[in-house]
Copies of this chain bind each other. A is one copy, B any other.
């Protein structure tokens, strides 16, 4: 028999099951199951026999069956608005890394920023019986919230705060972020402002808060360019062009352009360079996210740093604690944000 291929892995026979392995190893199926799931409870001699049988047969576990019986799928669903928006990449990567370490797998759903679509998605997701769900944002349909609560599945909402989370929550305040940017720029002496934004709900909330704060300080004339979809460099270029075309104020005072995304801000910097406008002397630019490129644009981009990786890691961690502590751990975590001052703002106007 030596030299034979391991039990005809290429034949059309019925797929190998745990019972096949058990038969070959001369033990009960349950013992094989234990070897796979709680190896410590099996004598090492037995474990070895089983191990060999698994290799010989080329057995692959069927977690569909395991999950059905045990009601533990070891699956976590992650719902994101868009995979093409790099602002979420770090969060996703961190979630995936943390969960993979504990043997969980990620089922990814893309909601396209639409609550109705998210609701349908959740229906499909729940049918897979995930052990947990990580959502982006706190805006969900009532039906979604009801369904999730009824399913008694642990849920973590991310990227926002709300007084009424579905369950657990990791995020930061978009209102505070928008306000902080306004106050900072005012403190630096800027008096002329504009916004370039995409129409995602959280970005718009930051923009609103920014504008409101300026208004409280007597600055009311804030032009805005709002684009649909995922932030792009092109939006920044178009946005600045449009703003400059319509802006008739030739007072010479610098204009501070606040963007709801670093990517857009990068586009604004690019358009400024293309037009020979000096930054920050004649134009100040503020981004959002502190994505990897922000420190390396020319000039370097001032922005609001969000620790997406920390957010993802925290979300995964909360979920795991709940799942492993089989209890009530969890709650709400505000990871905050940080204003990062770089060359695209400030300059001669600093500390005025």
Contact = CB atoms under 8 A, between A and B. Distances in A.
Given A10-B149, A89-B83, A62 B129 contact: yes
Interface stretch (A178-186, A202-210, A253-261, A291-299): A291-299
B123 A233 contact: no
B105 A296 contact: no
Given A267-B296, A270-B297, A127 B83 contact: no
A146 interface: yes
Contact of A110 (B82, B93, B125, B150): B93
A234 interface: yes
A47 interface: no
Interface stretch (A64-72, A157-165, A219-227): A64-72
A89 B84 contact: yes
Contacts of A273: 273, 298
A126 interface: yes
A297 to B, nearest CB: 6
Interface in A213-272: 232-234, 237, 263, 266-267, 270-271
A199 interface: no
A148 to B, nearest CB: 11
Contacts of A147: 58, 60
B90 A84 contact: yes
Contact of A127 (B62, B108, B270): B62
A45 interface: no
A307 to B, nearest CB: 15
Interface in A26-56: none
Contacts of A232: 292-293, 296
Interface string A69-95: 000010000000011101001101100
Nearest to A275: B298
A275 to B, nearest CB: 9
A124 interface: yes
Contacts of A62: 68, 127, 129
Interface string A89-124: 110110011001001011111100000000000011
A60 B151 contact: yes
A263 B125 CA distance: 34
A105 B124 contact: yes
Contact of A86 (B65, B73, B84, B129): B84
Given A83-B89, A127-B62, A296-B267, A107 B110 contact: no
A63 interface: yes
Given A60-B126, A83-B83, 4 more contacts: A58-B147, A65-B68, A267-B293, A273-B273
Contacts of A237: 296
Nearest to A121: B100
A107 B130 CA distance: 12
Instruction: Give 3 closest A-B pairs by Cβ, nearest first.
Output: A233-B293, A61-B127, A9-B150
Nearest to A104: B124
A128 interface: yes
A60 B106 contact: no
A274 interface: yes
A93 B84 CA distance: 7
